[in-house]
Amino acid sequence: MTVDTDVEGGRPETIKAVPVRHPGRWVAAAVIAVLAAMFVHFLLTSKSLEWSEQWKYLFSKPVLMGVRNTIWLTVVAMAGGVLLGIVLSLMRLSANPLLSGAAWLYLWFFRGTPLYTQLLIWGAIGSLFPTVGIGIPFGPEFHTWQTQTLINAASAAALGLTLNEAAYMAEIIRAGILSVDEGQQEASSALGMSRTQTMRRIVLPQAMRVIVPPTGNEALSTLKNTSLVVAIPYAELTRTQETISAVTYKVIPMLVMACLWYLALSSIMMVGQHYLERHYSKGVRGSNGEESEARQWLRLRARGGGQ
């Protein structure tokens, strides 16, 4: 780009802007287009997918029951994980070393062992603890129950997912709480607010901006982790497709069908996560998720660009 200043009238000529060439973009677009065309061709022509067989079972009663169980496990695990995670995060932040140490041990165990192994243990909990009772510790029991009767497959699956999820949610919530300036907590204390009121009215509402995005990712992970409860076993979506494919010998079509259901459920959850993030980012970002003008002005002024 050049400017010719040797013109009549003392005014420069109009700048002739030459657009920058981006040959790499065209090459990348061509490669992606070819790969996409190959993938679509595979979907339309592959005999191993057997779309008619998938459609036959896509909305069948057993599959819908498996989808319902998958959704139920996800909701229970996330709700229980969030509630228990709040308690664990507050214990981790406590000045009491006993509470902090107990929470750390909980996180150490459940984050340090595979979820599949934990679910196997919950599936065989009757072998580890044949009976469960209430009574005096190390003393007589007033009443006992058979563990296998008390904790069925559904309860074992929900407990296993919830306890594991709580360990991860505790760290997410703790990070959100620590992201709030301590000066706000000190100011609320000076105004006479209790620790509980400060946490509920001041800290948590601001921490949600940090907590929501990773929580949405955890919800998606929990949805997919429900497939691991085949270790118990429990009739969720993956277990249901395995049962059907064992009878029909249509392994690939049933696996693809299960993937379609997981994709559909994940897409719905992603939409919900988007609106939650937009809601809790008010005041920091605009309604469309972009940085607000006030925020931009403050950032530019901090860099010396504002007046």
Q: What is the pTM of this model?
A: 0.79
Weakly modelled stretches of the chain, pLDDT under 70: 1-10, 283-307
**How far is residue 208 CA from its own chain's centroid?**
14
**H-only helix segments in the chain:** 23-45, 51-58, 61-93, 97-112, 115-123, 125-128, 147-150, 153-178, 182-190, 195-198, 204-225, 237-248, 251-280, 293-302
Residues 239, 243, 244, 248: what is their CA dihedral angle, to the nearest 10 degrees? 140
**What are the structural domain ranges in the chain?**
71-132+143-233
Domain spanning 71-132+143-233, CATH architecture = Orthogonal Bundle (1.10)
Burial class (CB in 10 A: 0-12, 13-18, 19+), 93: middle
* Residue pLDDT, tens place only, 240-277: 999 999 998 889 999 999 999 999 999 999 998 888 88
